[in-house]
């Protein structure tokens, strides 16, 4: 089964929600955990126990594991395996992007099931040219994995590149959206090449219809985006939107019951997105 088909099934069965696993130092301390690999392990174990059977996607942010060196990477390996065993889809937020043999090595590291860091999908940066990601996309197809390509991010600096006009008169971001749509063409129920679009970008004139792939939309909740705003932003593409939140859920920890209650509340709010 392709990644797109697996993700569609998970979203239909569990609701369209991605929860980020972002164990920054302040959050570890707020949970009364040590700010080291031991605290990191306990944090991730609690999140997966609480949400691994409850949400469609869990998204570890690699940087918060890398900061602890090899011990942190070992926790990331454990977390990816635990997510898989709980039945959720793992989306590793690494935002990798390079050319040639280097991006091929990233593909082996993160999308080859033989790798201890293998995830169901990863985030990637296309700003060395969308074509530079082809080795990632090829391995994703071979291994039934997914790639979420940065298109429109919510940070103000992103506009300088993403909203720039190309020789065709289109924006860089729109050309990325169109390249992803070409990669997804003909796939049913949707393709495996997703895009990342900040939930708080507002109306920018970009077109999401016809993507035929998932749209990861960070910014739900604490960053200000609401389900109604998502529906207004994405229009007919709303059923393929995977809203992502982290603080709105993780700040309710460390209790398993309170984490689950936070997710249940958000699930109820998201019913308008797919209605």
End-to-end CA separation in angstroms for the chain = 26
| Nearest residue to 147 via CA among 127, 123, 176, 126 | 123
Cβ(14)–Cβ(52) below 8 Å: no
| Nearest residue to 92 via CA among 115, 53, 71, 62 | 62
Cβ(103)–Cβ(97) below 8 Å: yes
Query: In sequence order, what are the residues at sequence separation of 6 or more whose Cβ sits closer than 8 angstroms to the Cβ of residue 126?
Result: 97, 132, 133, 149, 150, 151, 176, 179
Candidates 22, 35, 73, 95; catalytic one: 95
| Nearest residue to 218 via CA among 49, 61, 7 | 61
Active site residue 95: yes
For the four alpha carbons of 34, 39, 42 and 46, in that order, the dihedral sign comes to positive
- What is each CA distance from 267 to 2, 15, 54, 200, in whole angstroms? 25, 6, 10, 19
Question: What residues act catalytically?
Answer: 95
């Amino acid at each position: 089964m392709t990644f797109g088909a697996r993700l569609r099934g998970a979203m239909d069965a569990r609701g369209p929600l991605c929860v980020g696993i972002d164990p920054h130092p302040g959050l570890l301390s707020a949970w009364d955990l040590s700010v080291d690999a031991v605290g990191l392990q306990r944090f991730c174990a609690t999140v997966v126990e609480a949400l691994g059977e409850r949400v469609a996607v869990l998204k570890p942010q690699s940087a918060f594991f890398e900061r602890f060196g090899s011990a942190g990477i070992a926790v990331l390996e454990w977390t990816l395996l635990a997510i898989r065993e709980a039945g959720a889809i793992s989306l590793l937020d690494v935002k990798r992007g390079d050319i040639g043999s280097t991006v091929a090595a990233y593909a082996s590291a993160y999308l080859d099931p033989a790798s201890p860091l293998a995830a169901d999908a990863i985030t990637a940066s296309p700003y060395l040219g969308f074509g530079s990601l082809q080795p990632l996309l090829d391995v994703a197809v071979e291994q039934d994995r997914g790639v979420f390509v940065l298109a429109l991010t919510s940070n103000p600096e992103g506009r300088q590149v993403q909203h720039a006009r190309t020789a065709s008169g289109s924006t860089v971001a729109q050309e990325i959206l169109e390249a992803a749509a070409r990669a997804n063409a003909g796939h049913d129920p949707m393709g495996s090449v997703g895009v990342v679009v900040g939930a708080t970008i507002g109306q920018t004139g970009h077109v999401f219809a016809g993507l035929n792939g998932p749209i990861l939309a960070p910014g739900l909740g604490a960053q200000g985006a609401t389900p109604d705003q998502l529906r207004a932003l994405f229009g007919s593409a709303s059923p393929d939107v995977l809203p992502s939140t982290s603080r709105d859920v993780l700040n309710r920890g460390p209790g398993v019951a309170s984490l689950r209650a936070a997710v249940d509340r958000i699930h109820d709010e998201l019913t308008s997105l797919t209605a």
